[in-house]
Every structure is written in structure tokens, then in C-alpha cells.
């Protein structure tokens, strides 16, 4: 069973590997539990092979690897949801926690036009009182829906919404600028 107070997001970095996190809400704290490393391997595996005969031969291999990766990720999520995040935060050096009061600004945005860190459906940026800025991206609509619900409740007035849900398109789109 999935934890309704948790979602997945990939932390993006310029000079080091990206990290996939399971973000849990417990009390008034967000716990960032590392699930995995660099993403975007599927896009890299096919590279420029789309439409090439060799690319067609690689598709079944990529499909099998993707199914295997999805099962592995689901098992990690289940393990993460089964244990209190307070215990998991000490298990890996990349795990960390942030109190809601430490976050001074946050925003949810539509997907980047140029998706350099792999396919995604939306982005999340947050800035802490200590001056750290984190960039995340959501790889599934379900994760972005949960993030929106959880973060709007926890961060209240500090969360800037740069997106809105478009039910006709079935995705998040850029929120139109307000007239002055």
C-alpha cells in the first residue's frame, strides 16, 4: 500500500548524478529518502537509434529493462513506506530532513521545454533559510498530484503555483500571467 503522505521526485544536480527521492511528510517535517541514482537511461539507451533498424532490435531489450526497473522501484517504495522516515534518514548519507519552517520559498512549475534530465511532467524548486536551493522533477502525474496536495497544505503561503491542471489535456500546464 502506498503512503498517501509521500511522493517521488528526482533531485537534479549540475555536477553530480541526479538522485531519486521518496519524500515523506511526518508531522511538520519533510523527509527525503534516497531510492536511486541517475535517471534518463531509457532515453540514453536508444540515443539516436529511433527509426534505425538497430533501434527496432533494441526496443524489446529496453522494454524488459524498464519493466525490471519499475518492479525494483516499486519494491523500494514499498520498503520506504513500511518504515518510519525518522529511522530511514540515518541509513544513507544522501537522506535528509527539512522542517517546513526551514523552507522559505517553493514553486511548482510545468515541465521544462528542454528536458535534459529525462522525461518529466513537472518541476519543484525550493529554497531553505540556509540559502540552499533544490531542484526536483516529477516523473509521473501521480507524484505531482500528491506533491501538490501535500506541499500546498504544509507550505501554505510559501508555495508559488506556476501550473494548473488542465483536465482536457490531461497534464499540468503553465498558469497564465495575471493581468495587472
Distances (CA, A) of 99 to 32, 69, 71, 108, 128: 11, 31, 31, 19, 10
Q: What are the pLDDT digits (tens) for 131-175?
A: 999 999 998 899 999 999 899 889 888 999 888 888 888 887 887
pLDDT band, residue 59 (cuts 50/70/90): low
Give the model confidence (pLDDT) of 119-133 as tens digits. 788 999 999 999 999
Question: What's the whole-model pTM score?
Answer: 0.77
Give the H or E element holding residue 44: helix 41-46
Average pLDDT, the chain: 81
Amino acid at each position: 500500500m502506498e503512503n498517501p503522505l509521500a511522493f517521488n521526485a528526482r533531485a537534479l544536480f549540475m555536477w553530480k548524478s541526479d538522485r531519486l527521492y521518496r519524500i515523506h511528510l511526518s508531522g511538520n517535517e519533510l523527509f527525503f529518502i534516497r531510492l536511486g541514482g541517475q535517471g534518463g537511461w531509457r532515453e540514453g539507451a536508444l540515443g539516436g537509434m529511433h527509426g534505425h533498424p538497430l533501434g527496432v532490435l533494441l526496443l524489446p531489450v529496453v522494454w524488459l529493462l524498464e519493466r525490471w526497473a519499475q518492479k525494483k522501484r516499486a519494491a523500494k517504495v514499498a520498503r520506504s513506506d513500511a518504515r518510519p522516515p525518522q529511522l530511514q534518514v540515518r541509513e544513507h548519507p544522501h537522506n535528509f530532513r527539512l522542517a517546513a519552517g526551514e523552507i522559505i520559498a517553493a514553486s511548482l512549475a510545468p515541465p521544462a521545454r528542454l528536458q535534459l534530465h529525462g522525461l518529466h511532467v513537472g518541476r519543484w524548486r525550493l529554497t531553505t533559510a540556509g540559502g540552499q536551493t533544490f531542484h526536483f522533477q516529477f516523473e509521473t502525474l501521480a507524484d505531482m498530484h500528491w506533491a501538490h496536495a501535500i506541499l500546498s497544505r504544509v507550505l501554505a503561503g510559501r508555495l508559488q503555483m506556476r501550473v494548473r491542471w488542465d483536465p482536457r489535456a490531461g497534464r499540468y500546464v503553465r498558469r497564465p500571467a495575471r493581468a495587472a
